[in-house]
Amino acid sequence: MTTNLKVGALVLAAVALAAGGGYWYGQRQSAVHGSEPAASMAASASEKKERKVLYYRNPMGLPDTSPTPKKDPMGMDYIPVYEGEQESEAESTNQIKISTDKVQKLGVRVEAATLRTLDKTVRAAGRIEPDERLSYAITPKFEGYVERLHVNATGQAVGKGQPLFEVYSPELVSAQREYAIAAQGVDSLKSASEETQNGMRQLAESSLMRLRNWDISDEQVKALAQSGNARRTLTFRSPVAGIVTEKKAVQGMRFMPGDALYQVTNLSSVWVIADVFEQDIGLVKPGTKATVHINAYPDKVFTGSITYVYPTLTAETRTVPVRVELTNAGGLLKPGMFAQVELPAASKGAVLTVPTSAVIDSGTRQIVLVQLKEGRFEPREVKIGARSEDRVEIINGVQDGEMVVVAANFLIDAESNLKAAVGSLGHAGHGAQPSTDGAPSTKVVTGVGHQAEGTVEDVDAKTSTVTLAHGPVASLKWPAMSMEFKVAHGGLLKELKPGAAVAFEFVERGQGEWVITAAKPAGKAAANSHAGHN
């Protein structure tokens, strides 16, 4: 019995000791943990005291600031801007921020600006024309009649020396007889005095010169001198082998001196006259090899050289003619055919280039979007130089290795312009005026669409307007308030019943005109709003 009492006393003592120790430890921990919030609050208070307020900006994002605290016409307090916040805001003034999800949805793709050699090929449309140096006109130098035609069709091929036509001319017959008499007189006066012989020789030579000036061949003159008989007709022969490209002679017609009766063109070599656009003409140099493709022969490639760049520009097409010479051994190339000409342009070595799609050309300036980091882009004005098929030279504005947007840059540019426009319009319903107290102005750039939750207070189906008491709108930095919205279409009024709690999306269609584009029942009631904005 005594032993049991002793054991019980020991157990009670142990319990009391444990209870006392637990109480002491709990009090100590409570004191320690209780001091942490106090220390945190003290540090936060000191930090707030150290931060310097630079100015106060409009709570609705309007370009209105104040050096001292004040309220807007709705009674909302202006928001303080602390030192350091202004710097970060200034750094991002010219930058475009887009969420990672939106970057993926837009299909944005970037590529590094690199040093490359621009190998450009100038392409131009051209046409086949005969070589002007190989074209000949057959023109009599005396009056006469076409007695007979040996070649009587345009386009007929002729050889060099082939008879074309015969003519009759009284002047020609008279000149032949004059020369024949003079030639016979020289022979008959061999025993006469030297002076008489010289006079007869001069007469014969002048008659011969007259015949030669009329393009009488030496063969015909020799036959005339031997026979002494004047021929009634004279045969005109082709001076070159080629094609009769023009025929005006008709059998029996009368012609006058200088009339072009035939034109014969040698097509063994032809010209390609390519029309090069004005902006590319500086890249084309004489002597450069050119490649010509003819629609009639898609499986053949013709090569030639640039022999001449014409000094004139066609005002209607803003093009400069460029001559390319081609050999036409097989006679495949015919005057009048269309040709596609490729002229390689001279390169000036490695230059900084970006893909052509990276440049946004507004007509007055060129812009490139540079990716600073994920979701942040900076538009830069650049000066461009030479172009190739898919790349363009950047003279200044971008550094080697910088990442530029090469796909969806127009979408980014359009969105950033729209954001800037929406931000500059602001919320006209608040009636705030720009500050004139000299404090720096701020502009909040907002997105295109905004989301909020609220309770429908009133619906006017005739004007398609709804009064909503909505909660805070983070994208516009609006507090909770009650205001009037337009609806995009009448079907939205089914969800917008008085007293209904809804989640909705809206945009600013005009200055101060906010339009609901989508609405659905909210998961929970919207926050209370203050109705002073109604």
Structure tokens at 204: 């014969």
Quick one: three-class SS letters along 229-245? CCCCEEEEECCCCEEEE
**Helix (H) or strand (E) run with residue 91 in it:** helix 85-91
- In a shared domain, residues 232 and 146: yes
Q: Do 293 and 334 lie in a common domain?
A: yes
Q: In this predicted model, what pLDDT tens digit does every residue of 319-330 receive, in sequence order?
A: 999 999 999 888
Model confidence at 339, pLDDT cuts 50, 70, 90, reads: very high
Q: What is the pLDDT of residue 213?
A: 75
Residue 368 lies in a domain: yes
**Interval 308-331 mean pLDDT:** 92
- Identify whether residues 250 and 169 lie together within a single domain: yes
289 in a structural domain: yes
The pTM of the full predicted model, rounded to 2 decimals, is 0.48
Categorize the per-residue pLDDT at 527 as very low, low, confident or very high, splitting at 50, 70 and 90. very low
How many domains is the chain partitioned into structurally?
Answer: 6
> How many whole angstroms separate alpha carbon 102 and alpha carbon 109?
12
Residues 39 and 58 in one domain: no
Same domain, 247 and 193: yes
Domain end (from 219, 234, 259): 259
Residue 382 has pLDDT above 60, yes or no: yes
The domain spanning residue 502 has which CATH number?
2.40.50.320
Q: Report pLDDT digits (tens) over 41-100.
A: 444 445 445 677 877 877 655 556 788 888 876 677 787 877 765 545 444 446 777 777
Query: What number is the average pLDDT over the span 469-495?
Result: 85
Is the predicted pLDDT of residue 439 greater than 90, yes or no?
A: no
Q: Is 166 helix (H, G, I), strand (E, B) or coil?
A: strand
Residue pLDDT, tens place only, 142-156:
889 999 999 989 989
Whether 266 is covered by a domain: the verdict is no
Name the range with the highest mean pLDDT among 66-70, 125-129, 355-359. Answer: 125-129
Start-end of H helices in 189-278: 194-213, 218-227
pLDDT at 431: 36
User: How far apart are the C-alpha atoms of 289 and 343, rounded to whole Å?
Assistant: 7
Predicted pLDDT at 232: 80
Is the confidence at residue 19, as pLDDT, over 50? Answer: no
* 199 vs 91 pLDDT, higher one: 199
Q: What is the CATH number of the domain that holds 381?
A: 2.40.420.20
**Same domain? 521 vs 476:** yes
In a domain, 369, yes or no: yes
Residues 101 and 85 in one domain: no
- Give the span between the Cα atoms of 467 and 457, in whole angstroms: 5
Q: What would the mean pLDDT of 115-119 be, rounded to a whole number?
A: 81
**pLDDT above 60: residue 343:** yes
- How do residues 253-300 score in pLDDT, each as one tens digit? 999 988 999 999 999 899 999 999 998 888 888 988 999 999 889 899
Please check whether residues 198 and 295 belong to one and the same domain. no
Q: Are 114 and 394 in contact (CB under 8 A)?
A: no
Indicate whether 113 and 65 sit together in one domain. Answer: no
Q: Which of the listed ranges 19-28, 229-238, 314-323, 476-485 does the model predict with the highest average pLDDT?
A: 314-323
Report d(CA 181, CA 168) in Å as an integer: 20
Q: Residue 479: name the closest of 53, 61, 56 by CA.
A: 61
Tell me whether residue 131 is in a domain: no
In a domain, 435, yes or no: no
**43 within some domain:** yes
Distance CA 287, CA 149 (A): 44
Q: Are 144 and 255 found together in one domain?
A: yes
pLDDT bin (cut points 50, 70, 90) of residue 457 is: very high
pLDDT band at 35, cuts 50/70/90?
A: very low
426: left (phi over 0), alpha (psi -120 to 50) or beta: left
| Structure confidence at residue 225 (pLDDT) | 65
| Cβ within 8 Å of residue 513, ≥6 positions away | 486
Where does the pLDDT of residue 479 fall: very low under 50, low under 70, confident under 90, or very high at 90 and above?
confident
- Domain shared by 417 and 353, yes or no: yes
Residue 244 or residue 412, greater confidence:
244
pLDDT for residue 338: 94
pLDDT band at 25 (very low <50, low <70, confident <90, very high): very low
Q: Assess whether 66 and 170 both reside in one domain.
A: no
DSSP string, 6-39: HHHHHHHHHHHHHHHHHHHHHHHHHHHHHHHHHH
> Which DSSP state fits 52?
P
Extract the tokens encoding 521: 């029942």
Q: What is the largest CA-CA distance in the chain?
A: 196
CATH of the domain at 327: 2.40.30.170
Average pLDDT of 12-18? 44
Which residue range forms the structural domain that includes residue 321?
272-341
Q: Does residue 283 sit within a domain? A: yes
